[in-house]
Amino acid sequence: MLSDGRIQYFLDTKYEDLKEGEYDELVKNYFQESKENWYDIEISELTTKELKSWRPNEVKTFWKLIRLHTKKEALKTKELNCRGFHFPRFEGVFNQLINNRAHKLVSGNFWESGEEISFYCEVEFSQAIFEGYGDFKNCFFYKNVSFTNSVFHDSFNFMNAKFYEDVSFSFVTFKKDCGINFSRAKFKKSCNFRITNFEGEANFTETSFSSADFSFCEFSSSTCFVRNIFDKEIDFNNTKFIKNELILFSDINQINESVLFVSNTFNENTIFRRVDMKNVCLSQSNIEIVKFEDCSWNEKGGRIVLLDEKKIPSTEEGKLGQLELIFRRLKKNFSNNKYWEQSAKAHFSEMLMRQKSLWKENSIFEWLIYGFYNMFGGTQDFKRPFFILFISTTLIFPLIYSDWCFLTSCEWDWNPLRKSIDAAIPLFKPSLEYKYWGIRYLQTFFSTILLTFFILALRKRFKQ
């Protein structure tokens, strides 16, 4: 660390008057030095939590040197290079909005009084250590920004921040005491959080993303994604939500491309509430413990259709087995939470994937059994067997018993319909004479199967 006399020299000397190598000396021996001796630890009376009490003179001097020299260096190199800097807490100074842009009322942090709280050049915070509270609220980043490999030790506020170009938070660690706030932030281009560790709380309420990569992240505290806009692909692959803290995805209805939760580890307090799941992938994740509340699903032909059916390559070995497992887990989830209708639709999809697998394996007999099972709704859909029973009893078999007189000029009577109803309900002995007893027994057998599927589906649907 620089001596007090040397620090005073840099305070008194303009950037333009520095000798060759002196700015590098300031960076190496001051900005990149630890600030752990700049604060005292105090215990909060309310929460018994350890708090950092920063010495105001050291903090004020640090930020003044940033404005005097680092900002001037950025004008020269077209890049604000704070790589490896150790930052104390940010100064708490007031801002005002002018033409929807935040401006400083008093000099503080990176900006002089009256300056817009914005960065018009590329910003490099890679390997930086933020040892105290930080605030980029309402800040506009017009060029690429990198926080790669940085460490945040205290709460940090990016509320209403706007990133117009690519931004990287990859390999970042947000420590346990660091509550990170990205509420209402806007990422106009690519946003990379890959392999980032969120040990503290994370708030992404009303955050807008163009495309984002959260793959291989770990979330250890409560996290919320609420009312977000996902414009392009959002990648949560191999992300872990560890510990039993609340993980909330809520009121997300603007998913314009896809959100990938592939090979994820969810905890038991993960909730998807009022989320449009039509463009969400869930393969190889433990979704059976997730809570889905009032979510909307893509449905077709009486079953749930997941984006995974398109995303998993058709050439991938075991694709149908993967899909079958996804729907089985989803069915188990719905059944455990007593969402019987959705459970039935997930079960139907599971059986369909199994049937396709059997066809691919050339197991023709089993494929026929599953096809027969699926044709009647698979004991999950009570509408399908009832509809088939109704049509066969009131239309198809009466025509057969009337010798197809509907297609001829013969006179119609009610006997064919009575015969059909009598054969369809196998509770009584036949009370009418049949010309073709084989057809009568065929109808009884067929109707019994339909009634069985209908009753089992009703039992499943209204099970308590």
Q: What is the 3-state secondary structure (H, E, C) of 235-255?
A: ECCCCEECCCCCEEEECCCEE
- CA-based nearest residue to 177, from 204, 150, 152: 152
Residue finishing a domain among 290, 308, 332:
332
3-class state of residue 265 by DSSP: strand
187 residue type, one letter: F
Q: Say which residues have a Cβ less than 8 Å from residue 433's Cβ, sequence separation at least 6.
A: none
Structural domain that includes position 391: 383-461
Do 206 and 76 belong to one domain? yes
Confidence of residue 371 (pLDDT cuts 50, 70, 90): low
Average pLDDT over residues 88-114: 76
Print burial letters for 228-250: b (CB count within 10 Å at least 16), e (below 16). bbbbebbbbbbbbbeeeeebbbb
How far apart CA 287 and CA 330 sit, in angstroms, is 7
Print burial letters for 90-107: b (CB count within 10 Å at least 16), e (below 16). bbeeebeeeeeebbbeeb
- CB-count exposure of residue 366 (10 Å: 0-12, 13-18, 19+): middle
User: Looking at the domain assignment, is residue 15 inside a domain?
Assistant: no
Do 187 and 114 belong to one domain? yes
How far apart CA 439 and CA 449 sit, in angstroms, is 15
Average pLDDT over residues 242-261: 93
User: Looking at the domain assignment, is residue 341 inside a domain?
Assistant: no
Do 257 and 404 belong to one domain? no
3-class state of residue 120 by DSSP: coil
Do 100 and 218 belong to one domain? yes
Instruction: Pull the structure tokens for residue 298.
Output: 């893509």
Whole-number pLDDT of residue 426: 63
Compute CA distances 199 → 172, 176, 221, 289, 353, whole Å.
Answer: 11, 5, 6, 22, 39
Strand partners, 129: 86, 151
Strand partners, 276: 296
User: Looking at the domain assignment, is residue 41 inside a domain?
Assistant: no
Do 241 and 121 belong to one domain? yes
User: Looking at the domain assignment, is residue 337 inside a domain?
Assistant: no
Do 215 and 70 belong to one domain? yes
CB atoms within 10 A of CB 21: 8
User: Which pLDDT tens digit goes with each residue over 289-336?
Assistant: 999 999 999 998 778 999 998 887 765 667 888 898 999 999 999 988
Per DSSP bridges, beta strands 218-219 and 240-241 are parallel
3-class state of residue 114 by DSSP: coil
User: Looking at the domain assignment, is residue 362 inside a domain?
Assistant: no
3-class state of residue 259 by DSSP: strand
Choice among 9-13, 191-195, 243-247, 310-314 with the minimum mean pLDDT: 310-314
Q: Let me know: does 142 contact 164? Beta carbons within 8 Å.
A: yes
Per DSSP bridges, beta strands 162-163 and 180-181 are unpaired
Residue finishing a domain among 332, 367, 402:
332
User: Which pLDDT tens digit goes with each residue over 109-146?
Assistant: 999 888 889 999 999 999 999 999 999 999 999 999 99
Q: Is the pLDDT of residue 367 over 70?
A: no
CB atoms within 10 A of CB 266: 22
User: Looking at the domain assignment, is residue 201 inside a domain?
Assistant: yes
Do 316 and 427 belong to one domain? no
Q: Is the pLDDT of residue 463 over 70?
A: no
Per DSSP bridges, beta strands 118-119 and 140-141 are parallel
Residue finishing a domain among 332, 348, 372:
332
CA atoms within 13 A on the CB side of 179: 5
User: Looking at the domain assignment, is residue 372 inside a domain?
Assistant: no
Do 143 and 84 belong to one domain? yes
User: Looking at the domain assignment, is residue 343 inside a domain?
Assistant: no
If one compares 393 and 191, the residue with the highest pLDDT of the two is 191
Do 324 and 387 belong to one domain? no
Do 216 and 131 belong to one domain? yes
Q: Is the pLDDT of residue 394 over 90?
A: no
Whole-number pLDDT of residue 425: 74
Do 403 and 286 belong to one domain? no
User: Which pLDDT tens digit goes with each residue over 401-433?
Assistant: 776 665 555 655 667 777 777 777 766 555 566
Q: Is the pLDDT of residue 81 over 90?
A: yes
Mean pLDDT of the chain: 86
Please give the full DSSP string across 342-411, using - where no structure is assigned: HHHHHHHHHHHHHHHHHHHTT-HHHHHHHHHHHHTTTTT-SHHHHHHHHHIIIIIHHHHHTTTGGGSSPP
Quote the number of domains for the chain: 2
